[in-house]
């Protein structure tokens, strides 16, 4: 028989929760401070105003219950488990909105007439999927392969979580190659919650992260990336910056206005670029020092503006042209990579690859979709090192990359245009910082 506790006992803080402090595990905090701290962990988890009503109410309930973990530590585990189930609920609610009352299936095997079903709820969606299965069995069509029509694409869809994720990707509602693997991991955790095999406990730190990730997931489903987000980041701001180096190996990056405070006496060479420069933040570009005007060698997209030259020349160009910053989306970028004479070269934008000379186009080319250049490079290198571990077409299970095509330069460029539309040729100057160890080969 369970113990019946008094109201006073129910209101007694759980000391396990009190040891989680803003500075990590430590001496137990006063209960009032702990309650305030726990609320601050999830205070900025906000959903977009147009997120589904049912999904919003479920999320609000979890966010509201979170600080009650100060009284009962196991509340964090209950919230964490429930949040993983809400992920599927959000997909279902968004799917019903997306289909606008009807879904269409086509038999990819026979090429017969499409089948359209009217749906008002997700129960109707399940019913439509089951009806197609019964139809195939009744007509003795063992090879029938009914697929959901999503725009101009057909995908396998059985109404489960995996099918919903495939739909959201095909519909362009979920984005980012790195996040594709995280979505898969979240789905496996959801399945473990739905079909438990043992006892587990979750910390408030892990649960707060799950709620933040869930908020990003829901907002992205409704078309709202998260500024500075971990999973579905919004486009990042780029500023006009000056890069400078000298013969002694010194190299630095600073806002362009720093030119007004510098002098030519130090022997530096100057270069103006538009790039992400956020020292000390999550958006700090760890590879800025490898900038190359023709190759994608920085973590975030960087554009050549002027240079190299002296400080006075850089300042004169800056005052004459008044370049401005912008915002750029850095996930799901399309890169083209060249293999030739035993070398794999750094990734290029399709526009730059399209502007290469005939001699520069020689070799085998690969077109991949990735969030970061190093992911694309590692994937193509892996095709030669361990070919069975990396996909030669479609999503790669071994790395956060989608292989779009391989072959000649013309074939690879066609694969890029199929993904991003018409490619406008560009030919920036062969300007780069001194050689980097990470990207040794260029042309």
Whether residue 308 has a cis bond before it, omega within 30° of 0: yes
In this structure, are residues 256 and 236 in contact, taking their beta carbons and an 8 Å threshold? no
Q: What is the pLDDT of residue 140?
A: 54
- Give the bridge partners for 20, in sequence order: 25
pLDDT over 80 (residue 335)? yes
Tens-digit pLDDT profile for residues 122-166 = 999 999 999 887 766 655 555 668 899 999 999 999 999 999 999
Q: In Å, how far from its chain's centre is CA 74?
A: 31
Of the candidates 248, 272, 240, the residue with the CA atom closest to the CA atom of residue 429: 272
- The predicted model gives 427-439 an average pLDDT of 88
Confidence of residue 435 (pLDDT cuts 50, 70, 90): confident
Confidence of residue 420 (pLDDT cuts 50, 70, 90): very high
Q: Domain residue spans in the chain?
A: 12-96+173-221, 99-164, 235-329, 331-443
What letters, b where the CB count within 10 A reaches 16 and e where it falls short, cover 69-96?
A: bbeebebbbebbbbbbebbbbbbbbbbb
Vertex 438, ends 436 and 441: CA angle to 5°? 75
pLDDT over 80 (residue 360)? yes
Q: In sequence order, what DSSP letters do the residues of 69-100 get, joined into one string?
A: GGT-TTHHHHHHHHHHHHHHHHHHHHHHHHHT
Tens-digit pLDDT profile for residues 45-93 = 999 999 999 999 999 999 999 999 999 999 999 999 999 999 999 999 9
DSSP 233: B
Tens-digit pLDDT profile for residues 320-329 = 999 999 999 9
Vertex 254, ends 248 and 258: CA angle to 5°? 100
Least confident of 18-32, 68-82, 171-185, 317-331: 18-32
Of the candidates 57, 14, 11, 17, the residue with the CA atom closest to the CA atom of residue 41: 17
Query: Helix axis angle, 75-99 relative to 53-65, nearest 10°?
Result: 170
Q: What is the pLDDT of residue 113?
A: 84
Tens-digit pLDDT profile for residues 190-205 = 999 999 998 999 999 9
Instruction: In whole angstroms, give the CA distance from residue 299 to residue 285.
Output: 6
Within 8 A by CB and 6+ apart from 21, the residues are: 27, 29, 34, 37
Of the candidates 248, 245, 217, the residue with the CA atom closest to the CA atom of residue 233: 217
Instruction: In whole angstroms, give the CA distance from residue 407 to residue 387.
Output: 16
Confidence of residue 239 (pLDDT cuts 50, 70, 90): very high
Higher pLDDT, 302 or 286: 302
Tens-digit pLDDT profile for residues 263-273 = 666 789 999 99
Higher pLDDT, 287 or 438: 287
Confidence of residue 389 (pLDDT cuts 50, 70, 90): confident
pLDDT over 90 (residue 111)? no
Three-state secondary structure of 345-367: CCCEEHHHHHCCCCCCCCCEEEE
- Cα dihedral: 401, 403, 404, 409 (round 10): 110
Confidence of residue 350 (pLDDT cuts 50, 70, 90): very high
- Give the whole-number percent of the chain exceeding pLDDT 70: 96
Q: In Å, how far from its chain's centre is CA 329?
A: 10
Q: Residue 273 has which token pair?
A: 């670029």
């Amino acid at each position: 028989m369970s113990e019946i506790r008094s109201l006073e006992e129910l209101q007694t803080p759980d000391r396990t929760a009190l040891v989680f402090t803003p500075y990590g595990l430590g001496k137990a905090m006063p209960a009032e401070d702990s309650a305030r701290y726990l609320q601050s962990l999830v205070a900025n988890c906000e959903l977009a105003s147009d997120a589904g009503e049912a999904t919003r109410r479920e999320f609000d309930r979890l966010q509201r219950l979170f600080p009650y973990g100060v009284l009962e530590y196991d509340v964090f585990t209950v919230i964490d488990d429930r949040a993983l189930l809400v992920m599927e609920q959000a997909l279902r609610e968004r799917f019903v909105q997306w289909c606008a009352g009807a879904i269409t299936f086509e038999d990819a095997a026979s090429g017969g007439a499409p089948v359209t079903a009217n749906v008002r709820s997700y129960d109707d969606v399940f019913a439509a999927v089951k009806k197609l299965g019964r139809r195939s069995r009744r007509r003795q069509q063992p090879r029938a392969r009914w697929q959901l029509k999503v725009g101009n694409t057909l995908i396998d869809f059985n109404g489960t979580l995996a099918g919903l994720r495939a739909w959201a990707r095909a519909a362009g509602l979920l984005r980012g190659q790195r996040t594709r693997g995280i979505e898969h991991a979240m789905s496996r955790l959801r399945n473990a919650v739905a079909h438990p095999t043992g006892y587990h406990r979750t910390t408030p730190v892990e649960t707060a992260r799950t709620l933040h990730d869930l908020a990003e997931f829901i907002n992205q489903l409704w078309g709202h990336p998260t500024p500075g987000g971990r999973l579905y980041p919004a486009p990042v701001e780029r500023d006009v910056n000056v890069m400078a180096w000298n013969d002694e190996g010194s190299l630095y990056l600073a806002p362009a206005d720093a030119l007004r405070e510098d002098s030519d006496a130090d022997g530096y060479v100057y270069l103006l670029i538009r790039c992400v420069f956020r020292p000390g933040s999550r958006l700090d570009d760890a590879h800025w020092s490898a900038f190359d005007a023709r190759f994608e060698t920085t973590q975030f997209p960087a554009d050549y503006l002027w240079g190299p030259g002296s400080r006075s020349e850089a300042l004169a160009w800056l005052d004459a042209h008044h370049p401005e910053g912008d915002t750029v989306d850095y996930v799901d970028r399309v890169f083209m990579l060249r293999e030739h004479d035993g070398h794999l070269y750094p990734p290029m934008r399709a526009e730059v690859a399209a502007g290469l000379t005939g001699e520069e186009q020689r070799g085998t080319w690969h077109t991949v979709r990735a969030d970061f250049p190093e992911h694309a490079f590692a994937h193509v290198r892996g095709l030669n090192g361990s070919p069975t571990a990396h996909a030669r077409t479609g999503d790669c299970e071994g790395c956060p990359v989608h292989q779009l095509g391989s072959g000649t330069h013309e074939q690879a460029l066609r694969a890029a245009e199929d993904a991003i539309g018409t490619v406008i040729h560009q030919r920036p100057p062969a300007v780069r910082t001194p050689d980097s160890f990470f990207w040794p080969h260029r042309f």
